[in-house]
Structure 1
């Protein structure tokens, strides 16, 4: 094989691998990710976003260097009582956008390592699994912004819920 042919073949292989990696990372789209700002000493905050998966999948976990403990939570109303607690995963039906927002599923950043200030870019790493068991890891930088609602993200997160 001539050096030119060898280099062409190598370039084609690199392009093929890059395309395969790009298609794997394009399975789930994250839109409008943001993290709620905090005040000094505040122990927790919330992260919100919209997720759209190409195939039936589920959000398994989220991690961030901004907190010592990150959990996916669900808020719901049961017998006129608002309840919130961790969930094992969030279903992401193929082609349907699922919102993680203050009134339903959301990400809790607990044990904040510092104050989250307006304009900070908070790294979030999402682990998603499709119906065949293949895992995808997405990293997003979510801008910090003040809450537009009055939900109290400073509530207790003991093992009781």
Structure 2
């Protein structure tokens, strides 16, 4: 590999690791995954941070990787069974605060994948915020990440490392 192509590859990899911004909203640590290589669905996870003085809300998402993209969460039913549900109202991001989209909780759901998602692939996702508008991000596929990678527990609260 030539120096020029090595430099380009390093710059491309670094650009995916950098946080994305739209207005006062910043997205960090985004990644996508499927449960198996042949899955027809997948999900994206990330940390949404609001550096502004006004509350905002993630109200939608879109991507050409799937036939449908929705905001989802997990809730326990009366029988103790976890169910995945569409969240019509979106996810609030308080002023000066954050909202983590994490496995087992809130997430961006890809349904009817148009292609398999392989380790290292990049998925383009447009996030729509109530006030900040649209933000297009490049999300790496990470099938090897452990459920709490990048997060730590602190007295029952999830905190970003």
TM-score (norm 1): 0.70
Q: TM-score if structure 2 supplies the norm length?
A: 0.70
8 Å CA contact retained: 2:117, 2:141: yes
Q: Which residue of 1 aligns with 2:93?
A: 92
Alignment of 1:9-20 (within 5 A): none
How many residue pairs get aligned? The number is: 122
2-side partners of 1:112 and 1:86: how far apart? 17
Q: Is the 8 A contact 2:34 2:41 kept in 1?
A: no
Instruction: Name 1:67's counterpart in structure 2.
Output: 66
CA RMSD in angstroms comes to: 1.8
Runs of 4+ in 1 over 6 A off after TM superposition: none
Describe the SS at the equivalent of 1:145: coil
Whether the 8 Å contact between 1:57 and 1:94 is mirrored in structure 2 is: yes
Q: Which one has a larger percent helix, Structure 1 or Structure 2?
A: 1
Structure 2: gaps spanning 5 or more residues: 1-20, 148-161
1:1-42 residue CA offsets vs partner (Å, 9 max, x unmatched): xxxxxxxxxxxxxxxxxxxxxxx9332100011000465542
Aligned to 2:112: 111
The structure whose Rg is larger is 1
Contact 1:31 1:50 in 2 (8 A): yes
Task: Describe the SS at the equivalent of 1:104.
Answer: coil
